[in-house]
Amino acid sequence: MAKIDNVIRVGAIGPGGAGRGNTLGMASLPGVEIVAAADVNKRSLDALEKGLSERVKGYKAGGFKRYIGEYEYITMIDKEDLDIVGVFSPHTLHDIHVKYALRNDMNVIVEKPMACVVGDAILMHKIAMSRGLHLVGGYQRHYSDVYVTARDIVRSGKIGELKKFEVYLAQRWSGGGWRGDPRFSGGGQPNDSGSHIQDIFMWITGLLPKTVYGTTSNKFEHDDGRIEERPIEIDCDTEVALENGAAGTVKIVGNTKVGFEEWIIFEGDEATLEIKKEMRLIPKGGEPQEVPRKILKGYPKSKVDQIVGLVRGDYSVNYTSGINGIRTSWLTNAIIQSGKGPEEKNTIDCDELIEKEGFSRQFVKDLIAESEQKNML
């Protein structure tokens, strides 16, 4: 559904922190107006006001309508004529906020994770598809030339058939604020920053998880050496098998003191693609090769550029569509469940997991195929 007039009207739910950055990013694009915002905290709206005053030329104080309260997002959506709703609320609220906006025929950009439960992700995507609306997930790595190039290399068969992989992300992460509250986080670091690395791994391969075997830890070591048990997952150490038989590890660490690190290694039967601080293609029995980064002309610059461009009609392809939220939440759900079993390490059958949500692997595969035919990648 393309916007036919010149001004795109945006309302934001939860524009604090990263949500404020996303909202300001949309406001900085030509022809976009932030007309309303809803939050439980007045200070978040004050900070948004300050940011708009500093970044948007000609912005006048009080330029957006404020909705303060837990359920005031409903009033905002009911009263305001919005083209886009930005959902930047705590993780477990994404589902209800996104669905309400979609059911009121509004396009949506939603922060990661798109959903905390794979069944909810499926329903969110299905509602958007059935109403002809755009749903853009908050996975910004899809707009990085490194990962766009990596996807082309893996999908085009340049490494052969994927056999093994290694997915790693480490960040000093203690679960501060609402992220440390399972009522709002929906899972700790594996469902927070870890959602990004799982998403880009799944987007590059296009594969779905088959089984997960691993464990999680809720122990966090403070700088003074004190060990604290938190109510959410700090680390996960997981062995994953994909539907094509490829096997590897997904390790997401919050209990680290070395700073932020991430890498992905794809090992095929013809070559290995290694993405660490740089990207290297290593043919079997050959020398590492530098990989020139490529991105299509006219490719969206960011996730906010993506949603605005889709609504305006500038873009016809959604590179962070709802199918990414489905793949990622399916894997994340299995990883978190593997840490809740009776043993130190536990096996999760991904087919059983999704069947408990009322769906099947074939249903998801058919939905992805249908989505890709409609340029939802």
pLDDT tens per residue, range 281-329: 999 999 999 999 999 999 999 999 999 999 999 999 999 999 999 999 9
Mean pLDDT of the region 131-152: 98
Tokens of 310: 């889709």
Enumerate residues 6+ apart whose C-beta is below 8 A from 277: none
In the 8-state DSSP scheme, what is residue 207? -
pLDDT in tens, 179-199: 999 999 999 999 999 999 999
Please give the model's pTM, rounded to 2 decimal places.
0.97
**Higher-pLDDT residue of 6, 22:** 22
Is the confidence at residue 21, as pLDDT, over 60?
Answer: yes
In the 8-state DSSP scheme, what is residue 188? S
Structural domains for the chain: 8-139 (3.40.50.720), 142-298+323-360 (3.30.360.10)
pLDDT in tens, 43-62: 999 999 999 999 999 999 99
Is the confidence at residue 269, as pLDDT, over 90?
Answer: yes
Q: pLDDT exceeding 70 applies to what percent of the chain?
A: 99
What pLDDT, on the 0 to 100 scale, is given for residue 5? 66
Mean pLDDT of the region 368-372: 98
Is the confidence at residue 3, as pLDDT, over 70?
Answer: no
What pLDDT, on the 0 to 100 scale, is given for residue 368? 98
Q: Distance of alpha carbon 252 from its chain centroid, rounded?
A: 15
Measured CA to CA, the distance from residue 332 to residue 26 in angstroms comes to: 29
Contact of 187 with 179, CB cutoff 8 Å = no
Measured CA to CA, the distance from residue 212 to residue 19 in angstroms comes to: 32
Is the confidence at residue 202, as pLDDT, over 60?
Answer: yes
Is the confidence at residue 2, as pLDDT, over 70?
Answer: no
What pLDDT, on the 0 to 100 scale, is given for residue 6? 84
Average pLDDT, the chain: 97
Contacts of 309-314 with C-beta under 8 Å, sequence gap 24+, read: 310/2, 310/107, 310/134, 310/136, 311/1, 311/2, 311/3, 311/8, 311/83, 311/84, 311/107, 311/134, 312/2, 312/3, 312/8, 312/31, 313/2, 313/3
Is the confidence at residue 4, as pLDDT, over 70?
Answer: no
What pLDDT, on the 0 to 100 scale, is given for residue 355? 98
Mean pLDDT of the region 136-154: 98
Measured CA to CA, the distance from residue 239 to residue 213 in angstroms comes to: 5
Q: pLDDT exceeding 90 applies to what percent of the chain?
A: 97
Q: Which residues of 351-365 are buried (b: 16+ CB within 10 A; e: fewer)?
A: bebbeebebebeebe
Mean pLDDT of the region 149-176: 97
| Confidence band, pLDDT 50/70/90 cuts, at residue 277 | confident
| Confidence band, pLDDT 50/70/90 cuts, at residue 136 | very high
